[in-house]
Amino acid sequence: MSRRAFEYLGLGLLGIVVFLWTMAPLYNMMIMSITPVNAIFAGKLWPENPTLGNYATVFRQDNHYLKFFWVQLGNSVFIAAASMVIVLAIATLASFAVGRLKLRYGPLVNNLALTTYLIPAAFLAIPFYQVMGAYKLLDTQWGLIFAVVTFTTPYAIWVLRNYADSVPFELDEAAMVDGASRWQIFRLVYVPLIRPAMIAVGTFALLHAWNEYLYAFLILSHETRVTLTVTLGLFRSDDSAPWPLLMAVGIIYSVPPTVLYFSVRKYMVTGLTSGGVKD
């Protein structure tokens, strides 16, 4: 065998290992979601009587854990969309101020924002809860939206600002000579040029809100107001929960972020890597 073929074989093996490592848990999720509810503990590689009935049960809300499936899915959509819009609005405005205006306090704002970005969200859960109580935002969807905004905006500002550095300043100056105000420059020059990065951070905020569990559990209470992640958590901790249904919900819940991610993947890579990174 030639050296080249040998290398290619090695790459192929590595590819197989990577594929199995990535897919095993997802495969397990999938087969559990098509296993009949009473046969869940067989530990088989393929269930004996696979069924799509679990999905039908979920869609028909035919189980008392899932009485509000559609409402809660709607809540997830609303909270994710609202978070995205607000993060984008605040971060775009702020990134313009920090990156485009010559401010004496610019670096300070930048560093403060970065500091928030560096505090693990789980570490602030305890005081954050109390503060939400003081603002009367507990058990409101706005409470959760602001939590997401708090933890994603600093990152969004940072990414947008770094991306904007690749946009030439000359355009601003030319507009200024033409008598444009700062607001006009923002609207007509800045926003159109940083749009790819806006798509990236918007998606990021959306995914973050969609997947948030700890804050959603703490802030939201009523069944009709919680997101679907909270219901997934309820399955986790309850006696005799129908686990195949949990997995069916989990698969359904994974589809939108996955589709979204793949459809904007191009922007994600440019946007996030020009700005850096997020775990």
C-alpha atoms less than 13 angstroms from C-alpha of 271 in its C-beta half-sphere: 25
For residue 110, state whether it binds other proteins (rule: CB under 8 A). yes
Q: Nearest distance from residue 129's CB to other proteins, in Å?
A: 5
Binding residue (CB under 8 A) for other proteins from 28, 168, 174, 263: 28
In the window 197-256, what residues touch other proteins (CB under 8 A)? 207, 210-211, 213-214, 217-218, 221-225, 229, 232-234, 236-241, 243, 246-247, 249-251, 253-254
In the window 254-273, what residues touch other proteins (CB under 8 A)? 254, 257-258, 261-262, 265, 269, 272-273
In the window 87-106, what residues touch other proteins (CB under 8 A)? 88-91, 93-94, 96-99, 101-106
Q: Nearest distance from residue 1's CB to other proteins, in Å?
A: 19
For residue 187, the 8-state DSSP code is I
Whose Cβ is closer to other proteins: residue 53's or residue 250's?
250
Whose Cβ is closer to other proteins: residue 60's or residue 265's?
265
Binding residue (CB under 8 A) for other proteins from 9, 133, 168, 263: 133
Whose Cβ is closer to other proteins: residue 145's or residue 197's?
145
Instruction: Indicate the residue type of 269.
Output: V
What crossing angle do the helices spanning 195-211 and 243-263 adopt, rounded to 10°? 170
Torsion of CA 161, 167, 168, 169, to 10 degrees: -40
The size of the interface with other proteins (CB under 8 A), counted in residues, is 139
For residue 196, state whether it binds other proteins (rule: CB under 8 A). no
Please tell me whether residue 247 adopts helix, strand or coil conformation.
Answer: helix
In the window 170-189, what residues touch other proteins (CB under 8 A)? 176-177, 179-183, 186-188
Residue 39 to residue 42: CA distance in whole angstroms: 6
Instruction: Indicate the residue type of 8.
Output: Y
| Structure tokens given for 44 | 């088989």
For residue 51, state whether it binds other proteins (rule: CB under 8 A). no
Residue 84 to residue 81: CA distance in whole angstroms: 5
Q: Shortest CA distance to 113 belongs to which of 134, 127, 99?
A: 99
Cα 273 to the chain's mean position, in Å?
17
